[in-house]
Amino acid sequence: MKTVAVIVHRGPHHPTVELATRLDASPAVAQVTIVANDRSTRPDHLPAAVAWILPPRDLGTGGGFQLASRDYPAAGAYLLIDNRVRIDDMTISSCLDLLAGTNIGVVAPTLVDGVRPRSGLTRRDPLWSASRARRPPGDRPHETDWVSGAVMFIKAECLRRVSLDSRYFVGFENIDFCYRVREAGWSVVLSPHRAWRIGSTALPAPGETYYLVRNRLWFMRLHGWWLRTALIALAIATVDLPRTAVADHVHRRGTEGSLLVLHGLLDGLATIPPPGEPRVDEPRAARWTAWR
């Protein structure tokens, strides 16, 4: 199965170059492509076979992946991987073997942060709908509701029918994608083989606050879960926002955190953009916090 690996890049070059070099040497990966969402110049020490794509603007995770995957229509599978993830050839091969199964659309390894699993079998929660509770899959593969977007293998036939929603920009596009994949009749499978995530998030931590609030609300609304949307919006307004305001005061950081939660709530309840590319003003969180 011809596999194209896509790294959506922003920030320092070193982790991206290191991962791309490892994947380029893997016999299971036919092509490695990097989408430079920060529009930075191609590093001199990147392997020559690795493609470096400059999008017209920052397209976020889903948008960057869709841009790169369109350049390789003959691929049998795609690997979407964060530059903080380290994955070995055994894990890549085992995940691709699973992906070759009938009606399996998405496969992911068990993602470990240090010694603690960061992805595992998800359990649908009646309120949150995408529970944070996770447990490792043991010694055999298991179907699950969704997997981490930091590293997932996607069958090309599945991607042709179900695309990543670029409107989310960053966060929740993986959960939304997996739910729609399952609704389309495909299985989402978690492998017991492991990958490892190192370092901190590639996004500015305050900016994550905005997208966590906004995109959770968008996810609920796009799936028609109106009661859950109302309950979560109420919890954000009455619990999260006051708590963040107190934290802003205690840590003497002005109103940055409060503004991110507030605008995440307001944008989450406003009109959702039509399907397609991210909003033209993304990264929208940069209005209220430093982005680079």
Q: CA dihedral in degrees (256, 259, 264, 270; nearest 10)? A: -150
Q: How does pLDDT run across 169-200, given as a tens digit for each residue?
A: 999 999 999 999 999 999 999 999 999 998 65
pLDDT at 207: 85
- Using a 10 angstrom Cβ sphere, with 0-12 exposed, 13-18 middle and 19 or more buried, the burial of residue 291 is middle
What does the pLDDT average to over 224-235? 95
Nearest in space to 109 (alpha carbons), one of 99, 101, 100 = 99
pLDDT at 230: 96
pLDDT at 221: 97
Nearest in space to 107 (alpha carbons), one of 178, 36, 44, 161 = 178
**Residues with Cβ < 8 Å from 44, sequence gap 6 or more?**
none
pLDDT at 113: 80
pTM for this one? 0.91
Identify the band that residue 206 occupies on the pLDDT scale cut at 50, 70 and 90.
confident
Percent of the chain whose pLDDT exceeds 70: 88
What does the pLDDT average to over 200-209? 68
pLDDT at 232: 95
Q: Where are the beta strands (DSSP E) in 169-284?
A: 187-197
Nearest in space to 8 (alpha carbons), one of 162, 171, 219 = 171
More confident residue, 208 or 77: 77
Cβ-based neighbour number of residue 160 at 10 Å: 10
Please state, rounded to an integer, the average pLDDT across all residues of the chain. 90
Q: How many Cα atoms sit within 13 Å of 279 on the Cβ side?
A: 15
pLDDT at 1: 85
Query: Distance (Å, rounded) from C-alpha 188 to C-alpha 119?
Result: 13
Q: How does pLDDT run across 141-163, given as a tens digit for each residue?
A: 999 999 999 999 999 999 999 99
